[in-house]
């Protein structure tokens, strides 16, 4: 009996510690933007036709004074709870467009949008402002959304997607095949690009099921007139599959990890797969 109670107590203590860490991070996040602790890393997307960089994805990092570099999977969900992601998201858009305006005209910039940003009226204006203050050609900006954007509030969100598209930017469906995947989503909005999630790449070349899914999505994307991208390519064997299945572009460690802004220009100029 007493050991049972002890187990509960240990559980409570662990839960409490977790909750405290969560609260602590939430508070630290609040001032992080003013303290300039956020940074964008950039990961190249490579055209399989030219084997050169055609675009880069902006990936958020948090340089925490106590903990060092923190990955977005650890803090973006917390920033989404408080709508802090809206202010951070505006900074990301402005910063990514400003950086991309320094790159050659043929290189695009991809920015991830949180579903929470769609709930706020400001999203279209934030994108328009980022474009006008950077002078970036809107056709060079790609906004990456996940299926969850089409899950709730889908009517409002689809309208926002159309409004964004009217600015001249491109819309990409990110992490396709995970989450609440439904092929119907591809009918609700004419996406410019589809990115196959790295979950289907991880066990390639051996995973038969993954290969079948990757092949199907490549075909689907092509028939719908979308640019097809495959993420998380790490090995030559995986690259060979991306080529064989006719993907337009690849993204992954095989070419480069995400790098700080200072290192991306060299990859854009000299990098070749
Ligand atoms: P995502 O948009 O699907 O980004 C791709 C993730 O895969 C990145 O992780 C990237 O570093 C990682 N990756 C790329 N190539 C490889 C590879 O070959 N192997 C492996 N194992 N991983 C690879 P990261 O930077 O940790 O970002 C994770 C997720 O956090 C992103 O997934 C995105 O959903 C979210 N995120 C990142 N930056 C932002 C942002 O600025 N705003 C919002 N709302 N979300 C962001
Ligand atoms: Mg993405
Ligand atoms: Mg993705
Ligand atoms: Mg992802």
Of 115 and 1, which is predicted with more confidence? 115
Mean pLDDT for 14-18 is 85
pLDDT digits (tens, 9 = 90+) for 26-36: 999 999 999 99
Whether residue 3 has pLDDT greater than 60: no
Mean pLDDT for 92-100 is 98
Alpha carbon distance 78, 191 (integer Å): 28
Whether residue 9 has pLDDT greater than 90: no
- The residue among 72, 155, 156 whose CA lies nearest residue 114 is 72
Pocket test for ligand 1, best of 112, 178, 260 (most atoms within 8 A of CB): 112
Collect residues with CB below 5 Å from ion ligand 2. 112, 144, 174
Comparing 12-16, 143-147, 166-170, which segment has the lowest mean pLDDT?
A: 12-16
Whether residue 181 has pLDDT greater than 70: no
Comparing 74-88, 116-130, 177-191, which segment has the lowest mean pLDDT?
A: 177-191
**Smallest CA separation from ligand 1 atom 19, residue:** 232
- 270 by DSSP, 3-state: which? helix
Confidence of residue 1 (pLDDT cuts 50, 70, 90): very low
Give residue for tokens 């092929």. 183
Nearest atom, ligand 1, residue 59 CA: 38
Confidence at residue 2, expressed as pLDDT on a 0 to 100 scale: 53
Average model confidence (pLDDT) across the chain: 93
Yes or no: say if 173 and 194 are a contact pair by the CB < 8 Å rule.
yes
Q: What is the DSSP letter of 206?
A: T
Confidence of residue 4 (pLDDT cuts 50, 70, 90): low
CA distances from 45 to 49, 173, 221, 265, 268 (A): 12, 15, 17, 13, 10
Tokens of 55: 């675009």
Mean pLDDT for 49-68 is 95
Comparing 5-9, 32-36, 73-77, which segment has the lowest mean pLDDT?
A: 5-9
Task: Please report which ligand is nearest the Cα atom of 114.
Answer: 1
Ligand 1 pocket, CB under 6 A: 43, 58-60, 71-73, 76, 92, 112-114, 144, 174-175, 198, 231-234, 251-253, 258
- 73 by DSSP, 3-state: which? helix
Question: What is the CA(13)–ligand 2 centre distance, in A?
Answer: 36
pLDDT digits (tens, 9 = 90+) for 118-162: 998 899 999 999 999 999 999 999 999 998 898 877 889 999 999
Percent of the chain with pLDDT over 90: 77
CA distances from 89 to 29, 77, 126, 167, 208 (A): 13, 13, 9, 18, 38
Alpha carbon distance 85, 207 (integer Å): 36
Confidence at residue 38, expressed as pLDDT on a 0 to 100 scale: 98
Whether residue 92 has pLDDT greater than 90: yes
Confidence of residue 232 (pLDDT cuts 50, 70, 90): very high
């Amino acid at each position: 009996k007493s050991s049972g109670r002890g187990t509960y107590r240990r559980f409570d203590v662990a839960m409490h510690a977790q909750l405290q860490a969560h609260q602590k991070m939430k508070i630290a996040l609040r001032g992080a933007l003013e303290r300039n602790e956020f940074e964008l890393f950039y990961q190249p997307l490579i055209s399989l036709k030219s084997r050169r960089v055609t675009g880069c994805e902006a990936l958020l990092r948090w340089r925490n004074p106590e903990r060092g570099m923190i990955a977005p999977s650890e803090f973006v969900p917390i920033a989404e709870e408080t709508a802090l992601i809206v202010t951070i998201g505006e900074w990301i858009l402005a910063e990514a467009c400003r950086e991309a305006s320094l790159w050659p005209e043929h290189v695009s910039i991809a920015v991830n949008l949180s579903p929470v940003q769609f709930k706020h009226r400001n999203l279209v204006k934030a994108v328009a402002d980022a474009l006008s203050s950077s002078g970036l050609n809107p056709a060079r900006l790609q906004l990456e959304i996940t299926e969850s954007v089409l899950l709730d509030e889908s009517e409002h969100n689809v309208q926002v997607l159309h409004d964004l598209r009217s600015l001249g930017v491109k819309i990409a469906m990110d992490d396709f095949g995970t989450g609440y995947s439904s092929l119907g989503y591809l009918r609700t909005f004419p996406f410019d690009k589809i990115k196959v999630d790295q979950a289907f790449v991880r066990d390639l070349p051996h995973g038969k099921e993954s290969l079948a899914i990757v092949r199907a999505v490549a075909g689907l994307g092509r028939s719908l007139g979308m640019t097809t991208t495959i993420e998380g390519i790490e090995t030559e064997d995986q690259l060979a599959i991306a080529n064989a299945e006719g993907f337009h572009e690849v993204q992954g460690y095989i070419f480069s990890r995400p790098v700080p802004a200072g290192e991306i220009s060299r990859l854009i100029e000299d990098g070749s797969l």
